[in-house]
């Protein structure tokens, strides 16, 4: 079983996926943050690969990506850092990013190198479903990586079922069509999540965008398997002098 499948087989509710940007706040922060997340109750780590034009990201995550790029973070540097990943953590680790830098690196090489360092899955929001089915999905699968598609409240039932069929690991339910970091109307989100729950989807569902504290985490988890926190965590890291203490304190406000 993959690490994601193993996780969802043993824990069905209130799964906490924490997003952080590789190379932020400092170039060499990545493994320190991963280790601290592993020690303090995160269930999944979603590691953002910084990119100059991140369409789905709000200003806080965009800014963290710009800082990481200025720090010198690249895909090659990241894979070099992650070669010690599995000495520090056994949590599922997902790389989230955009197609342009992945294609520049080379999709086959990217997937091979990701698998070699112990990465479990990918989220690439701008990879079209058609190209996944006809070209890239086979490469991703060949290297044993899960691939997670995103759905929104506006996604039709037919398309949700199709993306659920193509996804492995879990399905990423974006809480609204806004970018990350925006406050959400959780009454409206709850109706959307109930609709997904009633569809009896094949994959577990994790909710992202707008989750920032215990109240929003619990609300999102009520009708899903768990939630993804990104912007609020990046904000906590922004002023951190002691990264490990900051991670511990932040996770204590969520769980």
Tell me how far apart the alpha carbons of residues 90 and 118 are, in angstroms, rounded to a whole number: 9
Question: Which element (helix H / strand E) includes 146?
Answer: strand 146-147
Q: Is 45 inside any structural domain?
A: yes
CA atoms within 13 A on the CB side of 9: 6
Per the domain annotation, does 94 fall within a domain?
Answer: yes
* DSSP assignments along 57-109, one per residue: --HHHHHHHHHHHHHT--HHHHHHHHTTHHHH--S-EEEE--HHHHHHH-HHH
182 token code pair: 């925006």
Burial of 158 per CB tally in 10 Å (0-12, 13-18, 19+): exposed
- Domain assignment present for residue 254? The answer is no
Q: How many CB atoms lie within 10 A of CB 26?
A: 15
**Overall domain count for the chain:** 1
Predicted pLDDT at 181 = 46
pLDDT band at 186 (very low <50, low <70, confident <90, very high): low
Residue 143, domain CATH = 3.20.20.70
| pLDDT for residue 187 is more than 80 | no
pLDDT at 185: 63
Is residue 242 one of the residues assigned to a domain?
A: yes
pLDDT for 198-219, tens place per residue? 999 999 999 998 899 999 999 8
Residue-level pLDDT at 188: 77
Does the residue 255 lie in any domain? no
pLDDT exceeds 90 at position 173? yes
Across 157-172, average pLDDT? 97
Residue 12 lies in a domain: yes
- Tell me, yes or no, whether 52 lies in a domain: yes
Q: Within 10 Å of residue 11's Cβ, how many Cβ atoms?
A: 14
Catalytic residue set: 46, 57
The range of the structural domain enclosing residue 183 comes to 3-249
């Amino acid at each position: 079983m993959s690490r994601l499948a193993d996780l969802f087989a043993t824990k069905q509710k209130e799964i906490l996926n924490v997003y952080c940007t590789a190379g932020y706040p400092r170039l060499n922060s990545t493994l320190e943050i991963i280790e601290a997340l592993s020690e303090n109750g995160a269930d999944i780590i979603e590691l953002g690969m910084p990119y100059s034009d991140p369409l789905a990201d709000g200003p806080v995550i965009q800014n963290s990506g710009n800082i990481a790029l200025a720090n010198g973070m690249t895909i090659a540097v990241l894979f070099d850092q992650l070669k010690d990943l599995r000495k520090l953590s056994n949590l599922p680790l997902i790389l989230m990013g955009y197609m342009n830098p992945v294609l520049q690196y080379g999709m086959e090489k990217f997937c091979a190198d990701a698998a070699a360092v112990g990465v479990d899955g990918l989220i690439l929001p701008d990879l079209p479903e058609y190209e996944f089915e006809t070209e890239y999905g086979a490469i991703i699968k060949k290297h044993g990586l899960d691939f997670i598609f995103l759905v929104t409240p506006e996604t039709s039932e037919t398309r949700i079922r199709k993306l659920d069929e193509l996804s492995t690991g879990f399905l990423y339910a974006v809480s609204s069509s806004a970018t990350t970091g925006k406050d959400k109307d959780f009454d409206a989100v709850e109706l959307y999540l109930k609709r997904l729950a009633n569809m009896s989807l094949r994959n577990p569902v994790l909710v992202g965008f707008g989750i920032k504290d215990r109240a929003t985490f619990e609300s999102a988890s009520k009708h899903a398997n768990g939630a993804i926190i990104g912007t609020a965590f990046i904000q906590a890291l922004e002023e951190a002098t002691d990264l490990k203490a900051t991670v511990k304190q932040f996770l204590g406000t969520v769980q």
